[in-house]
Amino acid sequence: MPDTNPQILLARRPQGAPVAEDFRLAEAPIPTPAEGEVLVRHRFLSLDPYQRGRMDDVKSYAPPVALGAPMECQAVGQVAASRDARFKEGDWVLGGYGWQHWSARKGDALIAVDPKEAPPSTALGVLGMPGLTAWVGLADIGQPKPGETLVISAASGAVGQVVGQLGRIAGARVVGIAGGAAKCGFLTGALGFEAAVDHKADLAAQLDAACPQGVDVYWENVGGPIQAAVFPRFNIHGRMVMCGMIAQYNSAPGSAAVGAPPGPNLGPVVRKRLRIQGLIVFDSWHRYPVFRAEMLAHIAAGKLTWKEDVVHGLAAAPAAFMGLLRGENFGKLVVALD
Ligand code: NAP
Ligand code: FER
């Protein structure tokens, strides 16, 4: 067993887009689990857009990462020592914590993962937080009906790829917006979407062609010019699922959003009886068992697949995370700790 715990710490709070100097590689002792705790050896770390928010010192649903503390993330790993009778050495679990190799957490904070059901890293993606986000947001807010048009921004990403596939299962006509030909080809190819729109080319013309019947459900992951282009295309009784607006996550806290244009004219919300609602997936962890069972059934039936973007080694995490905020990932971004 190694005797140190490599970590990546928040060295300083970013001004705008994070840069390498905002992170610091360090080593700490491997934690000793207290009574009721489980020591987890991390195998995969999850890099997610919300972690950018945790780098700022602002009030949110969760406290910010402290300066000098490990960066925040969920991890999947294996139990190395357990002082909770529900877990034994070697078990795979979701809920390790932080950009580091080891963490000790209360057993209550961990979810058992069965590697025979699906590769363990999927507990960070299609069977994890991003998948649950897609499932909850469609069930509670989007509610696509057969034949309706569902448009998704950042559609090839961790959340978007699941939204689109669940939308197809519900019988919707799914249109994905993504950056570049490779991502768009993935949407209409492997994922079977009806159409893909490359936001790096003429957005309005492509949306007109892809959505001849207008838009019934818009799943918002990005904001900015993409939102402005989709919004006027809503049909009566349209629903907009406000999942995220990554285009403005690098804005200074509290400032007018950098890079965000003037928002869409909200006047039509009244005439079209639109419904716009946000969600925070962390409200819905109690629904995880039902979600997981349903998703495993879709996978077994060949109706649900996933794409991961895997980078290797803890030291690769900062650059991969910075790339996520520039759209450089292709699929669910995870760090494998080989
Ligand atoms: P992701 O889609 O795998 O990766 C982010 C994608 O966003 C990039 O690949 C890129 O896609 C696009 N992007 C990145 N920077 C951009 C920019 N500056 N302008 C325009 N597009 C940009 O990430 P994810 O984990 O699935 O998250 C997607 C969204 O869901 C994010 O807004 C995230 O905050 C949100 N989310 C919310 C919840 C919740 O509880 N509300 C939970 C999970 C995720 P393209 O190259 O295709 O443009
Ligand atoms: C996310 C973006 C934003 C997310 C949560 C939030 C879980 C919440 C932000 C806030 O409360 O300020 O991707 O994922």
Helix ranges restricted to H, the chain: 50-54, 129-137, 158-169, 181-188, 203-210, 224-230, 268-271, 288-300, 317-324
Domains identified in the chain and CATH numbers: 4-124+307-336 (3.90.180.10), 129-282 (3.40.50.720)
Contact 126, 106 (CB under 8 A): no
Within a 10 A sphere around the Cβ of 308, how many other Cβ atoms?
Answer: 19
280: Cβ below 6 Å to ligand 2?
Answer: yes
**Using CA positions, which residue lies closest to atom 4 of ligand 2?**
50
Name the residue of 219, 246, 333, 334 to mutate for ligand 1: max ligand atoms within 8 A of Cβ.
246
83: CA distance to ligand 1 center in Å?
A: 37
**Using CA positions, which residue lies closest to atom 4 of ligand 1?**
157
60: Cβ below 6 Å to ligand 2?
Answer: yes
Ligand whose nearest atom lies closest to the CA of 56: 2
pLDDT tens digits along 105-154? 999 999 999 999 999 999 999 999 999 999 999 999 999 999 999 999 99
Long-range Cβ contacts of 299-303 (<8 Å, 24+ apart) = 299/118, 299/126, 303/165, 303/168, 303/169
pLDDT tens digits along 153-180? 999 999 999 999 999 999 999 999 999 9
- pLDDT, residue 255, reads 63
81: CA distance to ligand 2 center in Å?
A: 32
DSSP 8-state class, residue 270? H
221: CA distance to ligand 1 center in Å?
A: 5
Pairing of strands 234-242, 215-220: parallel
User: The tokens of 25 are what?
Assistant: 């590689």
When pLDDT is averaged across residues 93-110 and rounded to a whole number, the result is: 95
Task: Measure the CA–CA gap between 241 and 140, rounded to whole angstroms.
Answer: 9
Contact 40, 77 (CB under 8 A): yes
pLDDT tens digits along 242-283? 999 999 999 866 665 655 667 788 999 999 999 999 999 999
Count of H-run helices and E-run strands, the chain? 9, 15
248: CA distance to ligand 2 center in Å?
A: 12
280: CA distance to ligand 2 center in Å?
A: 6
Contact 196, 185 (CB under 8 A): yes
The greatest distance separating any two alpha carbons of the chain, rounded to the nearest whole angstrom, comes to 64
Task: Measure the CA–CA gap between 203 and 188, rounded to whole angstroms.
Answer: 17
pLDDT tens digits along 14-46? 999 999 999 999 999 999 999 999 999 999 999
At a CB cut-off of 8 Å and minimum separation 6, what does 122 contact? Answer: 128, 306, 308
- pLDDT, residue 258, reads 58
- pLDDT, residue 191, reads 98
- pLDDT, residue 319, reads 98
Task: Measure the CA–CA gap between 230 and 247, rounded to whole angstroms.
Answer: 15
- pLDDT, residue 60, reads 81
Strand intervals (E) in the chain = 4-10, 23-29, 37-46, 74-82, 92-97, 102-106, 111-113, 149-152, 173-178, 195-198, 215-220, 234-242, 275-278, 308-312, 332-336
- pLDDT, residue 259, reads 57
